[in-house]
Amino acid sequence: MSDIGKLLVVVGPSGVGKGTVISQALEQDPTIWLSVSGTGREPRPGEVNGTDYVFVSRDEFSEMTQSGALLEWAEYAGNPYGTPRQPVQERLSAGQSVILEIDIAGARQVKANLPEAVLIFLAPPNVAELERRLRGRGTETEESVQRRLAIAQTELAAEPECDLVIVNDDVQVAAAQLIELAHR
Ligand code: 5GP
């Protein structure tokens, strides 16, 4: 392992399968650490506080932004999300590779602060497949699906800003590519 871990920032439209690819990669390579974001949105059924997200109130979230506790933060579909700075820095200093699963606005902030971060765009095989996956999750209202589809259009346009593209045609292949990048 190198002295300082790799910081991999995985972006891509909602529904592209970031969560699935990342959990597959972590299962195969437990040396990689996935940052747990803070959010002001309500937990979905089955989500666990401290594992999926740290769920906080709006007031607690603004306290985190003001105290500098976040490496980056952004509003997404009306809710705030952010990456706690300290755990990321600790893991990287210990030589561990770290994955951030965040939106493109947050990824830009990370790249501006830490140019050595690698921005990875996880692309859908095509847009129809993306909509199918987004609806297939079945946890979103129609309004939320429409909102997320609109955001997905702008997120697809972010591909050229990223350092690398992984197409999520096959979860196993995409996960293997992510693991390879963590150790490159
Ligand atoms: P969801 O509500 O579906 O869990 O997440 C919505 C979006 O928020 C996802 O596209 C995800 O990438 C983004 N997101 C999650 N955590 C963070 C974070 O810490 N910072 C930023 N900027 N975006 C995040």
Q: Are strands 164-167 and 118-123 parallel, antiparallel or unpaired?
A: parallel
Residue 137 has pLDDT above 80, yes or no: no
pLDDT band at 175 (very low <50, low <70, confident <90, very high): very high
Distance CA 167, CA 173 (A): 9
pLDDT at 136 over 80: no
**Which residue owns the Cα nearest ligand 1 atom 20?**
82
Answer yes or no: is the C-beta of 101 below 6 A from any ligand 1 atom: yes
pLDDT at residue 144, as a whole number: 85
32-60 CB burial, b ≥16 within 10 A, e <16: bbbbbbbbbbeeeeeeeeeeebbbbeeee
Task: Report CA(50)–ligand 1 centroid distance (Å).
Answer: 15
CB-ligand 1 contact for 35 (6 Å cutoff): no
Task: Give mean pLDDT, residues 154-171.
Answer: 94
Q: Is the CB of 14 under 6 A from ligand 1?
A: yes
- Determine whether the shortest distance from the Cβ of 76 to ligand 1 is under 6 A: yes
Taking the centre of ligand 1 as the mean of its atom positions, its distance from the CA of residue 150, in whole angstroms, is 15
Token pair recorded at residue 114: 């830490």
103 lines ligand 1 (CB under 6 A): yes
Domains of the chain (ranges; CATH) run 7-183 (3.40.50.300)
pLDDT digits (tens, 9 = 90+) for 55-77: 999 999 999 999 999 999 999 88
Which value, in Å, is the radius of gyration of the alpha carbons in the chain?
16
Residue 1 has pLDDT above 70, yes or no: no
CA of 77 to the centre of ligand 1 (A): 9
pLDDT for residue 130 is more than 80: yes
Q: What pLDDT is stored for residue 2 in this prediction?
A: 52
Gap between the Cα atoms of 52 and 60, Å rounded: 18
Res 121: pLDDT = 97
